[in-house]
Chains A and B, each alone.
Chain A
């Protein structure tokens, strides 16, 4: 069946090849570049950031090569509100958000998808490395590039309108294909980090937004061992940059165990205290086939996978891990898999 497909084109190699594949498959494809910054930089510097003027030109050039119409949609206000402000608010609340996941959930597969459907499109295609077959999400064949984790928060309804044409290919294959298709973005560097923090200095960005306020760094027993300039500058599991003068009693390195924004307190302790086996999550979402046996969970992007059992209690989801995990931060997503298939996800609230 010929579909009317809106291909989101970032200006990178993945989304260009994705759009080309759908067009070649005979669908009626329109390329759209999402302008996410009200004041875009003119050029990319290295692998950081996206949504520069150069990126929008690269996307347009790719659309021209593929031979599809191309437009730019201004999503800057929505992005600012739903992704950037949310990112800041989450840090202010002592959690560690994943803005890419939020962008997929609120921008690409909500604001953009809703608009596309209203305008008569059937689906939105992106260059994510993941598979979606009959509305069921699963991992890419390229384990190093798999992005099913950051898509795990999409609802069944959102997934039913999503097309990920790259799921069966490795990144290396995508680059080769881009070159063969004459897409000049073939050797463009991958983007990393957080696109709206162009210089990569997340702490500096947060300090500018949230200000600084001196607070205590305490150990597990509550004894003050140092001070900090704002709890939002810390992430659970962090070891470096604590600036603690007094060594721990056992002389072992200390890690951030928890962040308490109201009292502006950062608690530190030994690595062993970071280990958790029980994770409590909120807002569970079931977007795949149901499964109870042999379920695994992923707790951060490109993170390790743990065997687990899970249970819903009073609207919360409690996940028991087969072996301890460290650095589990509130605000991150727990995505549950059966084999390589996503069965659901939830937002981490606490861990013990």
Chain B
């Protein structure tokens, strides 16, 4: 966690009171929550009333997708990109399975991007029946940045609510809720140096999803549950710091990432870089290593002190070929042989040196172990 977030959070931990209470202690806590709301709104080009606190990104995605679908009944169509995070994809899949939704996954190009024309054509098939649209700001696996503003404009032409999961984008890319034209936007604390368990759904005025969880209606009558004021204070401090330092962070990480990509390519000549080579998250480098199992690479690198990640794990922890890479047209074998390296605040040239030192031997060994 960022020191600013730890400080803001720990300062609140000793305090008693519920932000919904009317007594003095409650008012004090409410002040903390409302200041956090203002901080986040200010950092992200939103109004304070547009910030709905949640327990994190998954809850925010669920609320946006399920809630907007329900609010727009009897419309049935839900349009998502085919490279969404599971929090979005699975929410939509559940709507299709049990709520009568007709979910359509929008095609992406080889770099994982949804073209505005693709969205326009999809809407045009039956514009009156589209309940909502959800397209992420930037992809968590391959890093490709979506043309959110253009996509939101297409949705806006038809008056269809547009949600974007911007969990990956905050602090990495400039994000303005107002300028994006989106009606709903997901963010979470732990991806930006804040605490786990605190996130938000930015909701434009007049956009009212049906609640997913019911109770006291603490957040705009849309989201119920006692607010976790200390975590919210830490979350807001993290948003403020991440957004303030975004540009500098972007430039530093982009430089490091391009160095990493360049050196990995030289060390393993047949490696394939996935995602947009330029318009991608600054700290993201995602590769396919032909003939290797991603799990084997990960295990060998981990044993050498290098931590990276293979796409997403399913519930049993069995690595499945990434739905993102498959949607981008990769073969299942190539998708299984993929690894993501993520650079962050603490990453340095030395880390890249260390990776390049061990990578050729690791790839060679993983290749010998083959694909199981």
Q: Do A and B come from one complex?
A: yes
Residues in chain A within 8 A of chain B (CB atoms): 30, 33, 35, 40, 42, 53, 56, 60, 69, 71-78, 111, 115, 118-120
- B323-372: which have CB < 8 Å to A? 365-366, 368-370, 372
Determine, out of B17-25, B71-79, B166-174, B310-318, the stretch whose residues face the partner at the interface. B310-318
Query: Which residues from 173 to 216 on chain B have a C-beta closer than 8 Å to any C-beta of chain A?
Result: none
Assembled-state Cα–Cα distance A115/B293 (Å) = 11
Q: Is B96 an interface residue (CB 8 A)?
A: no
Interface presence of B299 (CB below 8 A)? yes
What are 22 A-to-B residue pairs whose CB atoms are below 8 Å? A30-B299, A35-B316, A35-B317, A35-B318, A53-B315, A53-B316, A56-B316, A60-B317, A69-B302, A71-B298, A72-B317, A72-B319, A74-B295, A75-B372, A115-B296, A115-B370, A118-B368, A118-B369, A118-B370, A119-B300, A119-B369, A120-B365
Question: In the complex, which residues of chain B have a beta carbon less than 8 angstroms from the beta carbon of A53?
Answer: 315-316
Residues of A within 8 A of B316 (CB): 35, 40, 53, 56, 72
The residue on A at minimum CB distance from B298 is A71
B372 with A78: CB separation less than 8 A: yes
Nearest Cβ on chain B to A5's Cβ, whole angstroms: 13
Interface presence of B303 (CB below 8 A): yes
Known contacts A56-B317, A118-B365: does B372 contact A71 (CB below 8 Å)?
no
How far is A111 from B293 in the complex, measured between Cα atoms in Å? 14
Closest to A116 in B: B369
Counting residue pairs across A and B whose Cβ atoms lie within 8 Å, the total is 50
Residues of chain A contacted by B370 (CB below 8 angstroms): 115, 118
Whether B372 pairs with A119 at a CB distance below 8 angstroms is: no
Interface of A, helix, strand, loop or mixed by DSSP: mixed
Least CB distance, B13 to chain A, in whole angstroms? 27
Closest A residue by C-beta to B302: A69
Residues of A within 8 A of B296 (CB): 115, 119
Contacts A118-B365, A120-B365; is A72 near B372 (CB within 8 Å)? no
Partner of A119, one of B317, B318, B319, B366: B366
| Contact B295–A71 (Cβ < 8 Å) | yes
Residues of A within 8 Å of B368, CB to CB, are 118
Report whether B318 and A72 are in contact in the complex, using a CB–CB cutoff of 8 Å: yes
A115 touches B369 (CB 8 A): yes
* Contact partners of A30 in chain B: CB under 8 A: 299, 303
Interface residues of B, CB < 8 Å — how many?
18
C-alpha gap A71/B369 in the complex (Å): 16
A138 to B208, CA, bound (A): 70
Bound-complex Cα distance A71 to B299 (A):
8
Query: Within the assembled complex, what's the spacing in Å between the Cα atoms of A17 and B318?
Result: 23
A117 CB to closest chain B CB (Å) equals: 9
Q: Within the assembled complex, what's the spacing in Å between the Cα atoms of A115 and B368?
A: 9
The 7 closest A-B pairs by CB, nearest first: A118-B369, A72-B317, A35-B318, A118-B368, A74-B318, A53-B316, A40-B316
Question: Which of A33, A56, A73 touches B372 (beta carbons < 8 Å)?
Answer: A73
Chain A proximity of B28: nearest CB distance (Å): 40
| Chain B positions 280-307 with a Cβ under 8 Å from a chain A Cβ | 295-296, 298-300, 302-303
Q: Specify which chain B residues have a CB less than 8 angstroms from the CB of A71 in the assembled complex.
A: 295, 298-299
A315 to B212, CA, bound (A): 70
Point out the residues of chain B lying under 8 angstroms from A118, CB to CB: 365, 368-370
CA distance A128 to B300 in the complex (A): 27
Of B302, B315, B316, the most chain A CB neighbours within 10 A belong to B316
Known: A56-B316, A120-B300. A73 touches B369 (CB 8 A): no
Distance in angstroms from B332 CB to nearest chain A CB is 12
**Closest approach, in angstroms, between the C-beta of A61 and any C-beta of chain B?**
12
Which of A56, A71, A75 has most chain B Cβ within 10 Å?
Answer: A71
Q: Which residues of B contact A120 (CB under 8 A)?
A: 300, 365
Chain B residues near A75: list those with CB within 8 A: 372
* CB pair A69 B303 closer than 8 Å: yes
Say yes or no: B365 contacts A73, CB within 8 Å.
no
A119 in contact with B299 (CB, 8 Å)? yes
Task: Determine the distance from Cα of A120 to Cα of B304 in the docked complex, in whole angstroms.
Answer: 13
Q: How far is B315's CA from A40's CA once the two chains are assembled, in angstroms?
A: 9
- Chain A residues, Cβ within 8 Å of B366: 119
Taken together as a complex, chains A and B put the C-alpha atoms of A56 and B318 apart, in Å, by 10
- Name which residue of chain A comes closest to B320, CB basis: A74
Residues of A within 8 A of B372 (CB): 73-75, 77-78, 111, 115
Bound-state Cα–Cα, A30 to B316, Å: 18
Known contacts A118-B365, A119-B366; decide if A74 and B319 are in contact (CB<8 Å).
yes
Q: How far is the CB of B296 from chain A (nearest CB, A)?
A: 6
Which parts of B82-113 form the interface with A (CB within 8 Å)? Answer: none
Other A-B contacts than A56-B316, A56-B317, A111-B372, 11 sampled, CB-CB below 8 A, are A30-B299, A30-B303, A60-B317, A69-B303, A71-B295, A74-B295, A76-B318, A115-B372, A118-B369, A119-B299, A120-B365
* Closest chain A residue to B372, Cβ basis: A115
Assembled-state Cα–Cα distance A164/B303 (Å): 24
How many angstroms from the CA of A40 to the CA of B296 in the assembled complex? Answer: 22
Q: Which residues from chain A contact B302 at a C-beta distance below 8 Å?
A: 69
A119 in contact with B295 given A35-B318, A56-B317, A60-B317 (CB within 8 Å): no
**Cβ of B226 to closest chain A Cβ, rounded Å:** 30
Q: Which residues of B contact A42 (CB under 8 A)?
A: 315
Q: Closest approach, in angstroms, between the C-beta of A261 and any C-beta of chain B?
A: 33
Measured in the bound complex, the distance between the Cα atoms of B318 and A69 in whole Å is: 16
Q: How distant is A55 from chain B, measured CB to nearest CB, in Å?
A: 9
Please, which residues of chain A bring their CB within 8 A of the CB of B300? 119-120
Give CA–CA (A13, B370) in the complex, Å. Answer: 31
Closest beta carbon of chain A to B299's beta carbon, Å: 6
A75 CA / B319 CA spacing, docked (Å): 11
B312 CB to nearest A CB, Å: 13
